[in-house]
Structure 1
Amino acid sequence: MAEEYKGRVIVFSITGCSHCKSAKSLLTERNIPFVDVNLDTFPNLREEVKRRTNRSTVPQVFFNNIHVGGNEELQNLMKNEDKWQALIQEIKENEPPEDAPTPPAEDAFVDSDSKDDSGPILKCEEDEFYSLAKEIKDSGVLKDHRQGLFHVVRRSITSEELVSWMKETKNMDQENAIETGKQLVERHFLVPLRKGTTFKDDSNALYRMIDYQWENALNAIPISECKARQAFEVAEEMRKLILKLYSEYLSSDGKKVDYRGLGASESFKEYKKLSTELQRVNLKGLSREETLAFFINIYNALVVHATVSRGPPTNLWQRWKFFNSVSYIIGGHPYSLQDIENGVLRGNKRGIGMFFCPFGKADPRLQFIMKEVDPRIHFALVCGAKSCPPIKTYSPQNINKELQLATEAFLESEDGVKVIDDQSQVLLSSIFKWYKCDFGSSEEELLRWLYQQMNDGEKKKLLGGVIQNPKRKVSYIQYNWGLNSA
């Protein structure tokens, strides 16, 4: 028979948070009933939680009005029998006082669940040129073309050959055949192999189907049948589904993800199909906020997709290959993880181990890069390693607030910043070494940037003292590349 409790335990959490899942699992094991308040569902409560705890991390656990802290504090508390029993007595004997946090009304939870916000709302409307593109692939008209003495372009077609085929098989006149070819290129069914090519009846202009041209991209097959949609709309559906999957296959202790089980699920098949819509999304006209949210969410989803499909990188060479070769086709062009992070989000800067910038002077992807680098992106991008910031998703409407929350949360962690006051020493994540130019032109500018971004509290106070010490020492924490896989 379950024990009766007058009081209440509240866990403030977010979806896909490993530490949140671990804390809730611990309470369940101890038969402690609790109310799970998901801050993704109730974002209006974020500021209240931060005000009560002076923290941006989750979970945050309350026994009545007593703030226990996060997952680590909860685990340590359970090891101290006297303190643990005192908390149990508190919720057994006392109703929540007026100053205790209050969960949302029960009907708010019901309404939230009924919306089923965890999965995509598929809105695919078939593109009117999809059937023609598929017929071109299946008709046998694609063939090998030699370019120069040694290079052969397989499964390709010249515009002259395509115009001739459409005139013969579709009864089009010359003008309609050329216009149809232009539409196939503009809608990213066909890819010109010569930059700046305008489709016309030309025996030298060579084209390939988009899935053949970048067949190693994780979303290359099949060619998307859907009409092009706005980029952030597709990304929103993708982020909901991949986060739902991540949460479902996260172990009960929150330490590992069952990537094998995730990859075999029907939902992952649905996700892969949804990812093909990126092939022809419209990136033009995105605002700064939409660009940030779109590419951060796509980067994080691509990491999970690649880990499921290809397995995790286990050494330096595999990590280099992972970040440089794993890619999605987005708006008719391939984007690797390096392209997204260093090309788009960092304004086309060289990344770790790169001799050149991701995009050359004539690269069409240059039109989508960020004009100014927001260094807070480094705490939003998830690389799949244990030292990375926890997985989160971002929205164009709230991107600045969400990036600030991610930054504050990372700086609160010992993996982000650790201050040793008696030695006047600061230990920083290697992220600050690799991307130092994003945070300032000197060590002092970096430390002052960290100070400005931190929540008020003991760590910030200690850092302020260290900054004033001319003999301070700054060191970097060795990065943990271990994957959280089962």
Structure 2
Amino acid sequence: MQSRLLLTFHLVFAAFILLVSSTVFAAPKADLWSYWQSSNEANSMPINHQLWQQTLNRHIVQQGDQTLFSYNQVDQEGKWQLDRYVREMSKINPLKYRKAEQFAYWVNLYNALTVQLIVDNYPIKSITKIGGLFSFGPWDDDVVTVNGKKLTLNDIEHRILRPIWQDNRIHYAVNCASLGCPNLQVHAFTASNSDHLLDLAAKQFINSKKGVISTNNKTQLSSIYDWYQADFGNTAQLQRHLNQYRTTPVTLKNIDYDYDWALNEAK
């Protein structure tokens, strides 16, 4: 009887974990945190992202249409450099800068924090394994404090970037350390290169198999287009968006969605 009860418990627990894993990652809606809306457009001073660029230079590895990250090669000096970059960014008041500087600031900070989470928990097979027992990844964990405000990755993406800039290319810029995610760009974002990098990231992703696979009978799309349908619009609008960047135009039909949560690790 005891063994049967134990088996039943394990089965129920496994079913619960499966349910949690499949439902917790429901894409958050864009929900403006109005505190972060203001800017100083008269300030032409740039924010220095050189430390983040140095981390990218050392650890980004290009393999086919993937940019992978050599987490296993990050030594103590590399960890210190990454920590220093995050600390320096946390001391900045982004509201004192113009919007273009703020955009680059938030994208770089998001990506650096994601890499830092992986490095601090390495070795790990997926970012979804970080967090508490009943959490699906670290996106709702406090990871940085800016202007005295504790921020999560979800705050940065869904309460700052998406609602303030309202640009669906943001989904190609923030990286979740997974093979299914749009590439972590080899260049740090800046006020002057952000628009170019957004277009480049969109083109890379939409022309890759992790973005779009089209056959005669069906289309497999990244789950990003399912999770964030509100940002990409209906099927006709999404098709126009994709074909803006596709080298070969696609006709969307019999759509399936897929996403690979395996770590984007260069081994």
TM-score (norm 2): 0.71
Q: Secondary structure at the match of 1:427?
A: strand
User: Which aligned runs of 4 or more in structure 1 are off by greater than 6 angstroms?
Assistant: 251-256
**Which position in structure 1 is the counterpart of 2:261?**
481
Q: 1:379 to 1:302 in 2, by over 3 A?
A: same
Residue 229 of structure 2 corresponds to which residue in structure 1? 436
Structure 1 residues 84-110: Cα deviation after superposition (integer angstroms, max 9, x where no partner): xxxxxxxxxxxxxxxxxxxxxxxxxxx
Write out per-residue CA displacement over residues 200-231 of structure 1, whole angstroms, 9 at most, x where no aligned residue.
Answer: xxxxxxxxxxxxxxxxxxxxxxxxxxxxxx99
Q: Note if 1:383 corresponds to 2:176.
A: yes
* 2:146 matches 1:330: yes
Measure how far apart 1:260 and its partner are.
4.2
Where does residue 448 of structure 1 map in the other structure? 240
Cα gap change, 1:256 to 1:409, in 2 (>3 Å): closer
Shift of 1:331: 3.0
Describe the shift of the 1:255–1:410 C-alpha distance in structure 2 as closer, same or farther (beyond 3 A).
Answer: closer
1:243 equivalent among 56, 59, 76? 56
Unpaired runs of 5+ residues, structure 1, are: 1-229, 348-369
Q: Secondary structure at the match of 1:475?
A: strand
The Cα shift of 1:233 comes to 1.6
- Three-state SS of the structure 2 residue aligned to 1:397 is coil
1:24-173 matches, cutoff 5 A: none
CA contact (8 A) 1:242 1:271 kept: yes
Alignment of 1:267-416 (within 5 A): 267-311=78-122, 312=124, 313-315=127-129, 320-325=136-141, 327-347=143-163, 370=164, 372-392=165-185, 393-416=188-211
RCO (CA 8 Å, sep 6+): is it higher in 1 or 2? 2
For residues 89 and 220 of structure 2, what CA distance do their matches in structure 1 show? 40
Aligned pairs, number: 215
- Aligned: 1:233 with 2:47: yes
Per the alignment, in what secondary structure is the counterpart of residue 394 of structure 1? Answer: coil
Partner-residue secondary structure (3-state), 2:193? helix
CA displacement at 1:237 relative to structure 2: 2.4
SS at match of 1:407: helix
SS in 2 for 1:329: strand
Max radius of gyration: which structure? 1
Tell me, in whole angstroms, the C-alpha distance in 2 between the residues paired with 1:231 and 1:267: 27
Query: What are structure 2's unaligned runs of at least 5 residues?
Result: 1-43
The letter for the 2-side match of 1:239 is W
Question: In the alignment, is the contact (CA less than 8 A) between 1:417 and 1:427 conserved in 2?
Answer: yes
* Alpha-carbon RMSD: 2.8
One-letter code aligned to 1:434: W
